[in-house]
Amino acid sequence: TAPGPIMVTARSPPVPPMHMQKWLRPLTAALSPASLRSIHATRRDLEGPSSLGPILMHVAQPQLQDQSATWMGFPGPTGGEWPIAIQAALFALGLLLLLGRCWRRYPPQSVTLACMASRWGPGTAGPLRSDLRLNGTSPDTPLHRKSKAQKQKARGKEGFESYYEAIYGTEWPALRASLLTPHPKVVRLSCFAPASAAEQLQAALHESGAQPVAEVLGVGLTPFWDSVLRHCHVLPAGAGGALPRPEATGAYYQMDLASVVCAHLLGVQPGELVLDMCAAPGGKALVLAERLAVPAPDPGTDQSPLEMHADSFLVLNELSGPRRRQLNNVLGTYLPEDSRGFVDVTGCDASKYHKLYDPQEFQGCDKVLADVPCSSERHVLQKPDHLEQWTPSRPAELHKRQTKILLSALACVKVGGFVLYSTCSLAPTENDDVVERVLGMRAVSPVLSSELRMPGVEGVEGVPLPPLGQQTKYGWMVRPDLHGGYGPMYMALLRREA
């Protein structure tokens, strides 16, 4: 028998907006009259003009006049029958839309709290009362919702302070003060500088009262680190004006001592192929270039005492255009002209750099430096506008990108080669946590023991543990509050096993 007319309650169903009718009509076209009546009946249970029952009924009214519609098959748009699979899919979609509407109106947390209030009394949450108060909620507030005040509290200066105080506890005030204090100015003599320029710089350093780093550290240095750090001097406060501009002479480069240690920790040897994935501004790149060079035969006083090894090659990558131009300027100032042919500058995404190589034709680099973008808390604290924009999600977002860059670096290095992962961040999320995640994804091993040595050219001393910093779970950390104001700098040396 033909279905009778649809009875409408005294309260007329609301007319849905036009944009809803457009996507509701195809849905109701796939529903049978019986299912539409059940939806209409469900409306009475939901009791509200915002439910989907009346809206579906309004849009489906023309379909109910079609006497030929049946539940398992009915005329489609072209006169044929809809496949059963499509009918089932559309019916499931309608059911999900209905459940989603109910979910938003009656969240499960609020239902649970309402049940608890009915058992322990109105306005209470029984034994969970203290836990709810810890989250800043009440029995009338769903647990998954945060107030505007809570969201604002987690951002900016207050959120930054609470985030790092939770990590470092009572050490945070001293660590924060050290980040706000300018780090000591370290002048590193360029090994590519001609003898005449180096002598002039040495005289200027002596007049300014600069001290060799070895004397400032006050620790005994191994022969390796003594040979490295003897080129570094610490300037007294306000003595920077006594030196000639570095761009004019190319004799020195000013950088953090922790960065000098980081670049040398990779243990680069002459004749190797080395990749620096995030090379700007260029201080570490200059150290890598010097490690790839060998003494020049009989250099003049106005010539560089070093020249690149015939088999050495250095690839410097920087995605940012302005920073890449800065990197090129540094290379043009400090690198001798006859050595620039051994250096190539690229502008690719570091997280996808491994896709540039064909593993069938290219075995990989000998060493890779991945000095990745990071939170840089020292920079954030010293820039009020950056501090106000800080959010607790920033370290987590950087963690994802850092992991991708490290995985790409491990894909670019040959089996048995080394990758040095480094950041200037204090957040464990960006340091040991990144290394730990990668250890579970690739066949790599961290070089951690107190007998840390880099297998280099036979007869050349390996790289011992740095004289500055402390050991972490997977790497090495230089903290400004513990190590003379230098850093922060995290370093983890990884060896690719397969």
Residues annotated catalytic, as ranges: 424
281 annotated to a ligand binding site: yes
283 annotated to a ligand binding site: yes
Nearest CA-CA partner of 33 in 56, 15, 52: 56
**Cα distances (angstroms) measured from residue 109 to each of 50, 112, 138, 139:** 21, 5, 11, 9
Do residues 456 and 267 make contact, with C-beta atoms less than 8 angstroms apart?
A: yes
- Cα angle at 471 between 367 and 177, to 5 degrees? 110
248 annotated to a ligand binding site: no
318 annotated to a ligand binding site: yes
282 annotated to a ligand binding site: yes
Nearest CA-CA partner of 26 in 51, 63, 53: 63
**Cα distances (angstroms) measured from residue 382 to each of 240, 304, 340:** 21, 38, 36
366 annotated to a ligand binding site: no
302 annotated to a ligand binding site: no
Q: Is the Cα dihedral 247, 249, 255, 260 positive or negative? A: positive
280 annotated to a ligand binding site: yes
371 annotated to a ligand binding site: yes
Task: Write out the binding residues for S-adenosyl-L-methionine.
Answer: 278-284, 318, 349, 371
